[in-house]
Amino acid sequence: MDERIKSLVAEAIHEDPDILVLPERWRPIPELDHIRTAINDERGSDYIFIKTLAKNYGVSIISGGIWEKRRQNEQDKFFITTYYFNESGDEIGRQDKIHLYSYEPYLFTPGNQLKIFEYKKKKVFFTILICFDVAFYETPRLSVENGAEILISPTLIREDGLENWKTYLKARALENRVPIVACNPVGDFFGRHFPGGSKAISFKRGHESPAVLIVEEAKLNKKEILTSSINLSYPNRIRKKRLSEKKDSQHIEILK
């Protein structure tokens, strides 16, 4: 698996990308009874592997989801976390998965912070929303209200959830007038098929109301690189107007 990821990164840098995004899970997922065996120590082997790729290839990388163990309050706690490394391989920060899905709450601890990251080479601000974090409108809305210009989402979406996932992504983009990049793996884990279909969603210039989405998609069931060039100036402008139109919920009376 390491060599496969390394070869994809080596291929991707020929496009001179600003940031590479990996899916939520790029390691094989063991059967549920053996999941603990796939959990790294904090900043363990998966962390070091991606950090080294960022440094060696001189490219910023969003690590995808890394399962790691941390010692907190004299207890071992497990997190699903995504690291952001710059082109020198330096850790800029990490984002824990806030909304846990399916079996995850029985093993992992949810995050309680939403971080705004900066891609300093171009002074672009973004958040990392790990898969299920996109399913709830609050996390994308908090992101844009606090300065995020693009949402980056490492995901783990199985085949029967593809249509709902696409609906969520388009809805969050439209609600907030914000571009979204979502990376989904291709493979079979614990009897379920994950078909890829990564997406980059942006906005067609000149269409403000109604806005028109540009949806770029990777092919299903094909291990490939989706490359997208997203202009942020137009969505930044229409997002400012959209947010100004939102009525403060404190000024809405609830009647029962």
Give me the percent of the chain exceeding a pLDDT of 90: 88
Residues 6+ positions from 10 with CB-CB distance below 8 Å: 57
Q: What integer is the mean pLDDT of 193-207?
A: 97
**Contacts within 8 Å (CB) and 24+ apart, 66-70:** 66/40, 67/27, 67/35, 67/38, 67/39, 67/40, 67/108, 68/39, 68/40, 68/41, 68/42, 68/43, 68/44, 69/39, 69/40, 69/41, 69/42, 70/42
Q: How confident is the model at residue 251 (pLDDT cuts 50, 70, 90)?
A: confident
Cross-strand bridge partners of residue 81: 66, 96
CA distance 154 to 181: 8
Q: How confident is the model at residue 210 (pLDDT cuts 50, 70, 90)?
A: very high
> H or E segment at 170?
helix 162-176
Q: What integer is the mean pLDDT of 124-140?
A: 98
Q: What pLDDT, on the 0 to 100 scale, is given for residue 249? A: 84
Write out the DSSP string of 40-96.
EETT-HHHHHHHHHHHHHT-EEE---EEEEEEETTEEEEEEEEEEE-TTS-EEEEEE
> Which pLDDT tens digit goes with each residue over 214-232?
999 999 999 999 999 999 9
CA distance 12 to 54: 12
CB 75 within 8 A of CB 102: no
Q: What pLDDT, on the 0 to 100 scale, is given for residue 132? A: 98
Q: What pLDDT, on the 0 to 100 scale, is given for residue 187? A: 93
Residue 121, judged by CB atoms within 10 A of its CB (0-12, 13-18, 19+), counts as exposed
Q: How confident is the model at residue 95 (pLDDT cuts 50, 70, 90)?
A: very high
Residues 6+ positions from 250 with CB-CB distance below 8 Å: none
CB 144 within 8 A of CB 239: yes
3-class secondary structure per residue, 99-157: CCCCCHHHCCCCCCCCCCEEECCCCEEEEECCHHHHCCCHHHHHHHHCCCCEEEEECCC
Q: How confident is the model at residue 248 (pLDDT cuts 50, 70, 90)?
A: confident
Distance (Å) of CA 73 to CA 70, 76, 77: 10, 8, 9
Q: What pLDDT, on the 0 to 100 scale, is given for residue 28? A: 85
User: Per-residue pLDDT for 33 more than 80?
Assistant: no
User: Per-residue pLDDT for 236 more than 90?
Assistant: yes
Q: How confident is the model at residue 63 (pLDDT cuts 50, 70, 90)?
A: very high
CB 2 within 8 A of CB 49: yes
User: Per-residue pLDDT for 207 more than 90?
Assistant: yes
Choosing among 3.40.50.300, 3.30.870.10, 3.40.50.720, 3.60.110.10, the CATH entry for 2-247 is 3.60.110.10
User: Per-residue pLDDT for 97 more than 80?
Assistant: yes
Where in the chain are the domains? Answer: 2-247
Q: How confident is the model at residue 32 (pLDDT cuts 50, 70, 90)?
A: confident
Q: What pLDDT, on the 0 to 100 scale, is given for residue 232? A: 97
Q: What integer is the mean pLDDT of 117-126?
A: 97
Q: What pLDDT, on the 0 to 100 scale, is given for residue 250? A: 84
